[in-house]
């Protein structure tokens, strides 16, 4: 019992320290997942011992108001939400409510604020504080453009909502400043709690409303009715608020779990509320939570860990990219051991080195990215740019923000990556030829360039582990088949810097033959749509390089024959129109539909704007669909798109 009480004291002190850092100063040294784990452990110990220590953080909501800000007493108390992490626990809660109609909302990962309107004017804004008393932040809140300063309703009422920073805004601010913001949540909290409203304004925060805590002169029977009131008064409300039974809510949560990675803001879960406000109020409250609402928490998207080493990986262009090896940490259901850094400037900007504790973030299945150092100041063990390639020993050189190995002819990782890219599906589509196969052939047979692929024989594979007669014949057959290829695939396969598959298709369609492309000037290239001076210089420079041009000649001598680009016989049904393709599609993948759009005279764009003609939408579409609805851009399902072009 004594050990448990001591552990409870330690947990209380640690949680209080973390809460003070976040709620009091807008700068958390721990991730949400770490904070939740400590909090859950303390609750479990309190339940186990039947003891709640004086001042336990489980008895409080938020943190005490800062002395620098005026205190504000909320008209009605603000509550925290109980949380669940499994659908079984959610369904168990739903069963206890005695109702089967719920509303589902995003749980924004930001800072709760409470707005007071009286006489149609915003008269006060405050943080949640301890739920009863918060910090007055009216001047700061007035800088947030999504918060209306006046509303049509003239009675007195309180609006609860979340103040947050968009991910795109964070990226823009960090790109233009040497002082890096650690993550959207901390950036929003720090901006709201800055005594200078000009700093708050510069952070370009957003606000979404989700609750009316108090209102005079009227009442609401349902959450849907209350949200309609908020909209009528110009308060921003998230559109994702479906209503349904418990089974519907579970399915919607699963869809939202996938959708979260396409949003331009962080959500760390979903809030489920009884739609019937009268019934929810009748259920009452625990010491800290309303019984009529609950938070479903997603697996943590962000964690903290320690960098143990930073190595440099070499890509097909010779670019050296730093890779951080970190202490293993659980993140979104996976054990993370590596995290990416963009370049040496990124290392300096984020102030990381060996032994630095860092915030890392994982989105979907992408390798986690290091956001910033948890600690202030410069790292104790800084990392310096390599003067020599870690793989071949050749000297390196800095070009712009990146470091390159200068040995493009015999640096094994470069050759391996170039061969794998050349053989990939969107390129020459050599089935069965992987990066591992390329590396093995380089190391064991002396394969040193792309044309050497077409000189391989069955004898080349003799003695190589895992290469039986059938596998060897399949690879050789696939290599031989690739000699007859589309011009666009060949251009993409060459690995010209800044030339992706879409640009390769545009170039092939314009010039028609490889000969025409090789003879094109920079001026002729730059006139192509979406091909600017940088891309034009990359293409011209590639064919001007004697070594690279000689390899192209050798490929042609070995029987590689890029077919002349076909001119589409289809009418230019989409001429002058710009389409954006998003979501998971069934009949054809996104690249295929984009190519079809181009063949019909349209432009396939990557982002939605007022100039977009249509958005073609598949399953699990995200922010692009939201943007289309916001701008009033027509949205087509995959089926509607094909009906349009085939009809």
Q: Dump pLDDT digits (tens) for 347-401.
A: 988 889 999 999 888 765 467 888 888 887 889 899 999 999 998 888 898 888 8
198 labelled catalytic: no
pLDDT for the residue numbered 567: 54
Per DSSP bridges, beta strands 614-617 and 578-582 are parallel
Mean pLDDT in residue range 198-214:
91
Residue 26 has pLDDT above 60, yes or no: no
pLDDT for the residue numbered 24: 47
For the chain, give the number of residues: 647
121-130, 205-214, 460-469: segment of lowest average pLDDT: 460-469
Per DSSP bridges, beta strands 102-108 and 243-244 are antiparallel
| Among 83, 107, 350, 627, the one annotated catalytic | 107
pLDDT for the residue numbered 22: 61
Structural tokens at position 96: 């206890």
Residue 73 has pLDDT above 90, yes or no: yes
Spatial separation of the C-alpha atoms in residues 615 and 638, rounded to whole Å: 10
For residue 460, CA distances in Å to 314, 468, 472 come to 26, 12, 9
List pLDDT tens digits, range 635-646.
988 888 888 877
pLDDT band at 196 (very low <50, low <70, confident <90, very high): confident
Beta strand segments in 77-156, E: 83-84, 102-108, 111-118, 121-127, 133-135
Residue that wins the pLDDT comparison between 59 and 62: 59
Mean pLDDT in residue range 402-426:
86
What average pLDDT does the structure give for the chain? 86
100-114, 211-225, 232-246: segment of lowest average pLDDT: 232-246
List pLDDT tens digits, range 276-322.
999 999 999 887 889 999 999 887 778 889 999 999 999 888 899 99
DSSP code, position 347: H
Residue 553 has pLDDT above 80, yes or no: yes
Residue 31 has pLDDT above 80, yes or no: no
pLDDT band at 117 (very low <50, low <70, confident <90, very high): very high
277-281, 342-346, 477-481: segment of lowest average pLDDT: 342-346
Residue 200 has pLDDT above 80, yes or no: yes
Spatial separation of the C-alpha atoms in residues 411 and 390, rounded to whole Å: 10
Task: Tell me the backbone φ, ψ of residue 489, rounded to 5 degrees.
Answer: -65, -40
Strand partners for 312: 322
Spatial separation of the C-alpha atoms in residues 240 and 238, rounded to whole Å: 6
pLDDT for the residue numbered 119: 94
Mean pLDDT in residue range 520-530:
84
Buried residues in 462-494 as b, exposed as e (16+ CB within 10 A): eeeeebeeeebeebbebbeebeebbbbbbbbbb
Spatial separation of the C-alpha atoms in residues 90 and 237, rounded to whole Å: 24
Residue 61 has pLDDT above 60, yes or no: no
Residue that wins the pLDDT comparison between 564 and 66: 564
pLDDT for the residue numbered 275: 95
| Structural domains of the chain in order of their starting residue, each with its CATH number | 2-59 (1.10.287.610), 71-297 (3.30.470.30), 302-405 (2.40.50.140), 412-563 (1.10.150.20), 578-646 (3.40.50.10190)
Mean pLDDT in residue range 169-188:
81
For residue 638, CA distances in Å to 258, 615, 635 come to 20, 10, 10
Residue 103 has pLDDT above 70, yes or no: yes
Mean pLDDT in residue range 451-472:
88
Mean pLDDT in residue range 161-167:
92
Residue 571 has pLDDT above 80, yes or no: no
pLDDT band at 569 (very low <50, low <70, confident <90, very high): very low
Our CA dihedral for 635, 637, 639, 640, rounded to 10 degrees, sits at -20
List pLDDT tens digits, range 226-277.
999 999 998 999 877 888 999 899 988 888 887 787 788 888 899 999 999 9
pLDDT for the residue numbered 382: 92
Asked whether 361 and 302 are in contact (CB, 8 A), the reply is yes
Percent residues over pLDDT 70 in the chain? 93
Residue that wins the pLDDT comparison between 364 and 541: 541
Residue 66 has pLDDT above 70, yes or no: no
């Amino acid at each position: 019992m004594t050990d448990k009480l001591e552990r409870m004291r330690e947990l209380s002190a640690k949680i209080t320290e973390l809460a003070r850092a976040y709620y009091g100063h807008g700068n958390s040294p721990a991730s949400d997942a770490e904070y939740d784990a400590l909090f859950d452990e303390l609750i479990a110990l309190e339940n186990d011992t039947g003891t709640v220590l004086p001042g336990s953080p489980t008895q409080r909501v938020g943190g005490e108001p800062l002395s620098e800000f005026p205190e504000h007493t909320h008209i009605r108390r603000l509550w925290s939400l109980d949380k669940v992490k499994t659908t079984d626990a959610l369904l168990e809660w739903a069963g206890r409510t005695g109702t089967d109609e719920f509303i589902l909302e995003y749980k924004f990962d930001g800072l709760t604020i409470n707005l007071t309107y009286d006489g149609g004017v915003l008269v006060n804004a405050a943080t949640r504080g301890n739920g009863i008393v918060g910090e007055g932040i009216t001047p700061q809140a007035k800088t947030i453009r999504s918060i209306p300063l006046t509303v049509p309703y003239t009675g007195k009422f309180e609006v609860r909502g979340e103040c947050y920073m968009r991910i795109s805004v964070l990226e823009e601010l960090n790109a233009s400043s040497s002082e890096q913001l650690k993550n959207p949540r901390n950036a929003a909290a720090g901006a709201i709690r800055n005594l200078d409203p000009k700093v708050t304004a510069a952070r370009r925060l957003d606000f979404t409303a989700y609750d009316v805590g108090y209102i005079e002169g009227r009442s609401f029977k349902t959450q849907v009715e209350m949200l309609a009131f908020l909209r009528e008064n110009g308060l921003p409300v998230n559109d994702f608020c479906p209503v349904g039974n418990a089974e519907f809510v579970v399915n919607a949560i699963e869809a939202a779990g996938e959708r979260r990675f396409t949003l331009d803001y962080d959500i760390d879960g979903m809030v489920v509320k009884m739609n019937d406000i009268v019934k929810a109020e009748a259920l009452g409250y625990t010491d800290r939570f309303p019984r009529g609402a609950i938070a479903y928490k997603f697996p943590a998207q962000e964690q903290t860990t320690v960098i143990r080493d930073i190595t440099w990986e070499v890509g097909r262009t010779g670019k050296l990219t730093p890779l951080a090896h970190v202490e293993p940490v659980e993140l979104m259901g996976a054990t993370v051991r590596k995290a990416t850094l963009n370049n040496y400037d990124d290392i300096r900007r984020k102030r990381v080195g060996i032994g630095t504790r860092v915030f890392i973030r994982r989105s979907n299945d992408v390798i986690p990215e290091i956001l910033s150092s948890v600690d202030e100041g410069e790292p104790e063990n800084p990392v310096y740019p390599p003067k020599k390639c870690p793989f071949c020993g050749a000297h390196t050189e800095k070009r712009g923000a990146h470091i390159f190995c200068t040995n493009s002819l015999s640096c094994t990782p470069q050759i391996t990556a170039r061969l794998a890219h050349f053989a990939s599906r969107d390129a020459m589509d050599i089935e069965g030829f992987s990066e591992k196969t390329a590396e093995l052939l380089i190391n064991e047979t002396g394969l040193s360039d792309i044309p050497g692929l077409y000189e391989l024989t069955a004898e080349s594979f003799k003695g190589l582990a895992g290469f039986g007669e059938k596998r060897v014949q399949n690879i050789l057959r696939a290599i031989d088949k690739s000699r007859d290829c589309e011009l666009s695939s060949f251009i993409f396969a060459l690995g010209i810097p800044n030339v992706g598959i879409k640009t390769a298709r545009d170039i092939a369609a314009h010039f028609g033959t490889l000969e025409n492309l090789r003879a094109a000037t920079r001026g002729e290239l730059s006139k192509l749509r979406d091909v600017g001076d940088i891309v034009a210089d990359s293409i011209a420079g590639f064919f001007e390089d004697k070594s690279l041009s000689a390899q192209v000649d050798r490929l042609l001598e070995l029987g590689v024959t890029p077919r002349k680009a076909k001119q589409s016989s289809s009418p230019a049904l989409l001429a002058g129109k710009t389409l954006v393709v998003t979501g998971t599609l069934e009949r054809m993948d996104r690249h295929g539909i984009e190519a079809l759009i181009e063949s019909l005279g349209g432009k396939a764009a990557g982002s939605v704007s007022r100039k977009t003609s249509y958005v073609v939408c598949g399953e699990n579409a995200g922010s692009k669909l939201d943007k289309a609805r916001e701008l009033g851009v027509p949205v087509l399902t995959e089926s509607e798109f094909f009906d349009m072009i085939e009809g």
